[in-house]
Amino acid sequence: MLDGTAAVRQVDRKDGEIRVAGKPIPGVRRIVLVRDDSIEDFVCSLPAIAAVRETYPGAWLSVLVRPAVVPLARMAPDIDEVLAPKRTVEGMEQAFHRFRPDLMISLSRTSRAAWAGWRAKVPHRIGTGFRLYSPLFTDRVDERRRAGVFHEVEYALSFAHRAGAPASPARFRLTVPLKARDSIGNWLDLHRVSRPFVVIHPGAAPGCPAWPAVHFVQLATLLEAESTQVVFSMGEGDRPFVRALEEDHPFLRRLPRFEGDEEARAALFSLAAVAVGNGAGTVHLASALGVPTLTLHAPWRGCGYQRRGPYAANGWALVAESEEAKGWSPRRRQILGPQLMNAVTPADARRSVVAMMAGGEPELGTA
């Protein structure tokens, strides 16, 4: 049995700091910001996008994203155009030739944007400073993302600061389309769900241990027993959770499961009293929409709350803490991480959710 304990934590937000200073670039009229990663990565980049927009108010601002992120990108009022080319150097290069940017800001984890921007002769190219391809950029951000020292929001903001953006509070600007709101309203009526309700999104990105799927089921059981309605937000890759759902108490099969597009998911999150999910996952969208959000985390930096927790005053993290686990090798983390996450119990999560629904801070004491 692993020696782990549950703890309530909150991100120490440092969005007012500038670690990588720069100056606005004269003559910039067309900007492309490359963020061809996950939905979580895009959401964490929204403050950087807002900062770039305010620094270059007259420029035409585009973002280059994966096709799955396009609906969310179109919800951001700071973005003028969304690009989703083939995820190859050639595809990006063609997109750059058509768009003709003066400035490229690449938050991408791969070398594709660096090569494409260089080949397309984009005049100003900002990117990471710690890769073999970093010399392809004209300006660089010398911060190591994997170290987990900074939150993903703050890491993205450093790229905006390098482009000349001043220090300012992080702003997540998203506008849920009226059509999506109407659609989710009809869906909730059809499933007889009324406010207040809790949204549970069990999905998790690879690389970080997830809270056991059965714990989400048990959390729903505890909340439903107190007449708190629960909606499951299901995404691709949630099959283990679905199996646990179907193998557990039969009545849980009747609970509403949302499996719609990202616009409708955003509308669903925006109406929730509280959203719950793994720290490395889509649940960050709820936090960006101003919804009280509770995420679950392992203790090490790469997956920890200081890097991946909700970046908001009403966002909180439940962490499976263990001094022993902090020294584990990557392989040991992969093997024992899911077991360690059992340190946070469904009862811990229930108490936290109930406290948050009442407008308070999460609690781990006896209810």
Domains recognised in the chain with CATH numbers? 5-9+176-357 (3.40.50.2000), 30-162 (3.40.50.2000)
Which of 318, 367, 357 shows the shortest CA–CA distance to 197? 357
* 352 within 8 A of 294, measured Cβ to Cβ: yes
pLDDT in tens, 214-239: 899 899 999 999 999 999 998 766 76
Which residues lie closer than 8 Å to 220 by C-beta, 6 or more apart? 200, 230, 232, 252, 255
* 60 within 8 A of 79, measured Cβ to Cβ: no
Place of tokens 């179907």: 246
pLDDT in tens, 91-127: 999 999 999 999 999 999 899 999 999 999 999 999 9
Residue 367's pLDDT is what?
A: 47
Whether 250 has a pLDDT exceeding 90, the answer reads no
Which of 111, 271, 294 shows the shortest CA–CA distance to 181? 271
Q: Please state the pTM of the whole predicted model.
A: 0.93
Taking only Cα atoms into account, the Rg of the chain, rounded to an integer number of angstroms, comes to: 21
pLDDT in tens, 147-180: 668 999 999 999 999 999 999 999 999 999 999 9
